[in-house]
Amino acid sequence: MKEFAEIVGAANVLTGAEDMAPHLRDWTGQWQGSARAVLLPGDTAEVAAVVKAAQALDLPIIAQSGNTSVSGGSVPDEAGDGIVLSLKRMTRIRAIDPAARTATVDAGLVIETLQDAVAEHGLDYPLMFGARGSAMIGGALATNAGGSNVLRYGNARDLCLGIEAVLPSGEVVHGLTGLRKDNTGYDLKNLLIGSEGTLGIITGAVLKLVPTPRVRSTAFLALPRVEGALDVLNRLQDVSGGLVEAFEYMPGPMVEAIREHDPSLRAPLEQTAECGILVELASTRPADAEEDETGEVALQRIMLSEIEALMEEGQIEDGFFATSEQQRRDLWRLREAVLESIVARGPFTVLDAALPLSGVPDFLRRAGEVAEAAGLQPLVVGHLGDGNIHYSLSAADGGSWDEGRADKATGELLDILADMGGSYSAEHGIGRVKTGTLAKRKDPAQLEAMRTIRQALDPRGRLGRGVLVS
C-alpha cells in the first residue's frame, strides 16, 4: 500500500480490520465484502492518481460514497484482492450561484449538508429520501437516486447540469460547465449518471437548485381503494396548478410495522387506512402563503376545498391535515422510517418496481396474491405519482423466513412486472443484488450494448467488479 500512501497520505490508507469494517458491509447487513485497503482521497487529482496506480497494479476498485445502497453496489465482493475508494473526505461546496440557482460540489458532500447550505440563499436541492442525512451526492448520481419529490422535480439525473469524473484509465472528464444545452457529441454526463461506478468515479457535479417554498400543505388521506388514487392526484394537481410535490402510498400494514418498530411515531388516523396517502403541496407564490382572517393560508384552503369535494364523492374516507410544522415533520418521520422498520423485522426481499401509473392497482392485486400464496407478509410503500412501488416481502407474523419461498415469490413478481411492461429497478440501482435478474431479463440488444460500452472504457473490468453488468 506504499504507492497509495504516497498519493493520499498514510493516515488515509486504512488497512486495519476495525477501520475498514464500516466500508466492507452495507447498512442493511445483507452484503459483506473484503478488501486489501480502504483509500480516502481528498480531491479529484488524488482520485485520478489512485485509479492510475490501481490499474498499474491490476487491482479492482469499488467506489463508495455514503454506503446507503440497498442493492449491494457500494461494497466490495468477497475476493479481498481489491481496494475501496471512499469519497468521504471530498466534502467541499465549491460554489453556490444564487442567480443561476446552481451549486457546484464535491461528490462526497452529504445531501442534507448541501440542503442546509443552500437554504441560507432561499434555495433547496429537492432530492428527498430518508437517507439524505448520510447519503452523498456521488452515490445519488451513480445510482440516479429518486425519492418522494420525483413527481415534481425528477430523479438525480434531472437535477444535474454537469459532471466531473475519473474514468477507469485515470483520465479526468471535466464537465462542470453547468450548461443547460450542449449538443456537442455523446452525453457523457448522462452515461455516467446511473452507471453505479462501473464507467467512472464521479468526483464533482453542478446541481440544479429550486426556490424554497414559502408554504406547504400536508395531509394523510384514507382512500377506500388504491384504484381511485390517480384521480385524487390529478384533481389536486389541476386545482393547484401542478403544486403536488409528494404523493406517497402507505397502506395500513406498513404503517403498523413502522409503529411496531418505533412506538413513539403516532398513527395519523384513528382507523388504519387500507389505502393511506401522504400528500404534500408546496408553493413559492406569495399569494399562496397569504392568510385569511382565521389564519388559514391560501394553499391550505385550495387543498382542503378539493379534498372536501372528493370526500363528498366518496373518493376519500378520512384525512389528517398538518396544521403546524411539527405535525408535518411527524408525518414525514413516519414515511422516512419505512426502510429501517422493514430491516428491523429480519430477513426480507425488496422489489423496486416501476409501472405505468394506471397499472399500479392491478400490480398490487396480483402481487398480493403471490405473497399470500407464499405465506409472506407484503410491506409496501410507493411513490404513486411516478409509478414507483417498493414491494417488500417479510416473514409473516408468527412465521419463519424461508429463502426458497421468498426467491420463488420474487420470481413470480418479476414475471408480473414483465407482463405489465414494468421495471425491476426504479431508483435503487442494480448493484450486486440484481445482476442475475438483469442478465436474464434485459433486452439482449440493450444488454450487449451495455457490455460493449463497459468493455470499451474498462477493458479489464477493474472498476466496480461484479456490479451492474459484467
Which parts of the chain have pLDDT scores under 70?
Answer: 398
What is residue 292's predicted lDDT score, i.e. its pLDDT? 86
Nearest alpha-carbon partner for 143 in 442, 419, 426: 426
What is residue 298's predicted lDDT score, i.e. its pLDDT? 95
What is residue 183's predicted lDDT score, i.e. its pLDDT? 93
Question: What residue type is assigned to position 427 of the chain?
Answer: E
> Distance between CA 426 and CA 147 in Å, rounded?
10
> Distance between CA 199 and CA 245 in Å, rounded?
32
Do the strands 83-86 and 37-39 form a parallel or antiparallel pair, or are they unpaired?
parallel
Q: Please list, residue by residue across 168-186, b when 16 or more beta carbons sit within 10 angstroms of its beta carbon and e when fewer do.
A: bebebbebbebeeeeeeee
Query: Using one digit for the tens of pLDDT, what is the confidence trace for 410-467?
Result: 999 999 999 999 999 999 999 999 999 999 999 999 999 999 999 999 999 999 999 9
Which residues, 6+ apart, have CB-to-CB distance to 11 below 8 Å? none
CA 162, 284, 331, 133 dihedral sign is: positive
**Sheet containing strand 348-354, strands side by side:** 318-321, 215-223, 275-283, 244-249, 376-383, 388-395, 348-354
Q: Report pTM.
A: 0.94
> Distance between CA 398 and CA 421 in Å, rounded?
35
The 8 Å CB, 24+ separation contacts for 283-290 are 283/213, 283/214, 283/215, 283/216, 283/240, 283/243, 284/211, 284/212, 284/213, 284/214, 285/214, 286/214, 288/214, 288/215, 288/243, 289/214, 289/215
Spatial contact of 447 and 438, defined as CB atoms under 8 Å apart: yes
Residue tagged 388559514 (cell numbers): 296
Residue 207: its H or E element:
strand 201-208
Residue tagged 506504499 (cell numbers): 2
Question: What residue type is assigned to position 165 of the chain?
Answer: A
CA 9, 11, 16, 17 dihedral sign is: negative
Phi then psi for residue 19, to 5 deg, are -70, -35
Which residues, 6+ apart, have CB-to-CB distance to 75 below 8 Å? 23, 24, 25, 26, 31, 32, 33, 62, 64, 67, 84, 432
Query: Using one digit for the tens of pLDDT, what is the confidence trace for 338-384?
Result: 988 998 888 899 999 999 999 999 999 999 999 999 999 999 999 99
What is residue 93's predicted lDDT score, i.e. its pLDDT? 98
DSSP character at residue 320: E
What is residue 343's predicted lDDT score, i.e. its pLDDT? 87
What is residue 168's predicted lDDT score, i.e. its pLDDT? 97
Spatial contact of 214 and 195, defined as CB atoms under 8 Å apart: no
CB atoms within 10 A of CB 76: 29
